Amino acid sequence: MTETLEALYYSPLVAIVSEAEHGKTVRTVLERQLGVSRKLLSQVKLTEHGLTVNEVRAYTTAPVAAGDIIRVRMEREISEDILPQPIPLQIVFEDDDLLILNKPAGMIVHPTHGHYTGTLANGVVYHWQQKGERVRFRPVHRLDEETSGLVAVAKTSYVHQQLSEQMQANGFLKLYRAYVYSSPVPAEGTVDEPIDRDPAQPHIRIVTPEGYPSVTHYETISSFESAGGNMQAAAVRLKLETGRTHQIRVHMKHIGCPLIGDKMYGPEQGAVEAWETVAGRQALHAEILGFTHPLTKQWMEWQAALPPELEQLEQALSE
């Protein structure tokens, strides 16, 4: 039976009922100990081994006794709608619950209309297939196509739920490096401006009083000046408090510091052609990612080095 369970289910979540929880329901114990959502419980209780107490199938409303062992087993899934492709991946970390990748610029995270192949998801699904793992692709967050850097992928619905809740509670550390025109004034600060779609161009985001709350913290790392001395630039570190679409790009443009190489939100005039050419894309990189591991409860943090094109841009700015 064990082999069958391992083939059909992921490793179980386990909760041992304490003395203080004697007489409580299965649902109450799981919510208190593991933060299991009601949505997940409603899914697992439908399968034979999805929810058990002392390895006997149980209901969420069943009372439990001190010392009882509750197990939650999620069925193994695969992304049937994503075509596996042998795409080179920069894997930073992987265990049974998480996959952390360093995404290159020019790659979309998930297939969309018109882009069914060549995405990060296609490569990850192939990677798992080669390892013999049945896992569904669940990105916890995404990066724009032209933004490079760290992306977290959950390997189970529970891990995805836990990490999503951490993000909503500001439990995620997400630091970005950007190269911008001009130099922020003050050199360190916060942009707290709502963002929404531009009514005239729905694919573009703008700062508008009717928008959704959006907060970006920034810190100037270094400043540069063009050869003729008529154009400034800066390397900026950014921390997101919210995660709106194009948030960094919109907020930096709003304070007069659009990203170098940004075709959508770049400067309307005055762009330095040499800087644009070296960057080759918007100069934004998700550099540091950190959060509490949902299973081990340990803080984990990763860093992705600047890709070659941004290293070359910094060198060009310095010169």
Residues acting as catalytic residues: 144
Cα–Cα dist 219/150, whole Å: 20
Residue 264: count other Cβ atoms within 10 Å of its Cβ: 17
List the one residue out of 126, 134, 142 whose CA is nearest residue 89: 126
| Residue 182 DSSP one-character state | S
Cα–Cα dist 34/161, whole Å: 11
Q: Helix/strand/coil (H, E, C) string of 11-64?
A: CCEEEECCHHHCCCEHHHHHHHHHCCCHHHHHHHCCCCCCEEECCEECCCCCEC
Q: Which residues contact 86 (CB under 8 A, 6 or more apart)?
A: 123, 126
CA distances from 178 to 40, 123, 186, 248, 284 (A): 38, 27, 16, 9, 5
Cα–Cα dist 230/215, whole Å: 31
**Token couple for 14:** 């386990």
Maximal C-alpha separation, the chain: 77
